[in-house]
């Protein structure tokens, strides 16, 4: 079965710096990888999707990379702001199983002013 | 459209009681998913529906759990004879089966506490 892991330790960075979060997966089968943001007491909110044949995807200050050889995705937030503080979840989308998501445990990001 | 809604937002129940949660997805979404999330963990897949058909159930979903989606609209998740281990946030999400990004829209969740 697929397994997905994120750095469980919280990441603390200074405002304006780039935050980099890591997501590793095992037993990969053709799938897509998504990143979500979750604030306390709320449901996750979709940020980006990256497909297996894409190396990189960007959206405003966000960048996601996908290395199928390393079985790793990196999520970058450039010019980070205190409002970026949240938990970030990566998820494998199992396309041939109804699009269900297998989530990592999430990484809590704290951006200090 | 107001997004995915879930009711109730919080539920406290005594062990052994039955509880039922409701999810109202985005109206044009044909797929509906239930997940369970405990503190410090990511959501865990429980089950999903395409229209009114329940197409997959996780092994996490014991016989005490049942979900329905009559008429392919709202969905209910019932837990019978609740146990303390059932305490968690129950999240509902909906999506289009043919969406470009396969984005799932999550509701705010129902937080269940079993005492």
Task: Give me the CATH number covering residue A33.
Answer: 2.60.40.10
pLDDT at residue number A67: 87
Mean pLDDT rounded to a whole number for chain A: 91
Phi first, then psi, for residue B24 (nearest 5°) are -110, 110
Average pLDDT score over residue span A8-32: 87
Mean pLDDT rounded to a whole number for chain B: 94
Residues of B in contact with A9 (CB under 8 A): none
The b/e string for B5-24 (b: 16+ C-beta within 10 A; e otherwise) is ebeeeebebeeeeebebebb
Q: Are A49 and A56 in contact (CB under 8 A)?
A: no
The pLDDT-based confidence of B1 (bands split at 50, 70, 90) is: low
Quick check: is A50 in a domain? yes
Phi first, then psi, for residue B48 (nearest 5°) are -145, 155
Domain count, chain A: 1
Q: How are beta strands A62-67 and A11-14 bridged, if at all?
A: unpaired
Average pLDDT score over residue span A6-33: 87
Quick check: is A65 in a domain? yes
pLDDT at residue number B97: 80
Quick check: is A91 in a domain? no
Structural domain containing residue A46 = 15-86
Residue among A41, A49, A97 minimizing CB distance to B56: A97
pLDDT at residue number B53: 93
Tell me, rounded to whole angstroms, the distance of Cα B87 from its chain centroid. 14
pLDDT above 60 for B103: yes
Residues of A in contact with B106 (CB under 8 A): 43-45
Quick check: is A77 in a domain? yes
Quick check: is A75 in a domain? yes
């Amino acid at each position: 079965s697929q397994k997905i892991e994120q750095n469980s330790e919280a990441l603390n960075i200074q405002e304006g710096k780039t935050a980099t979060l890591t997501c590793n997966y095992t037993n990969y089968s053709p799938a897509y990888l998504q990143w979500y943001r979750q604030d306390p007491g709320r449901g996750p909110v979709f940020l980006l999707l990256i497909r297996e044949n894409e190396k990189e995807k960007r959206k405003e200050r966000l960048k996601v990379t996908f290395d199928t050889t390393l079985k790793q995705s990196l999520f970058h937030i450039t010019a980070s702001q205190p409002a970026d503080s949240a938990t970030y979840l990566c998820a494998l989308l199992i396309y041939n199983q109804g699009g269900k998501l297998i989530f990592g445990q999430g990484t809590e990001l704290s951006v200090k002013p | 459209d107001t997004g995915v809604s879930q009711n109730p937002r919080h539920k406290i129940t005594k062990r052994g009681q039955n509880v039922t949660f409701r999810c109202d997805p985005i109206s044009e979404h044909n797929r509906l998913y239930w997940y369970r999330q405990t503190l410090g963990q990511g959501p865990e897949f429980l089950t999903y529906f395409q229209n009114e058909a329940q197409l997959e159930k996780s092994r996490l979903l014991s016989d005490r759990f049942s979900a329905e989606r009559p008429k392919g609209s709202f969905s209910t998740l019932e837990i019978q004879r609740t146990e303390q281990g059932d305490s968690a946030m129950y999240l509902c999400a909906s999506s289009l089966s043919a969406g470009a990004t396969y984005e799932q829209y999550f509701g705010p969740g129902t937080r269940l506490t079993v005492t």
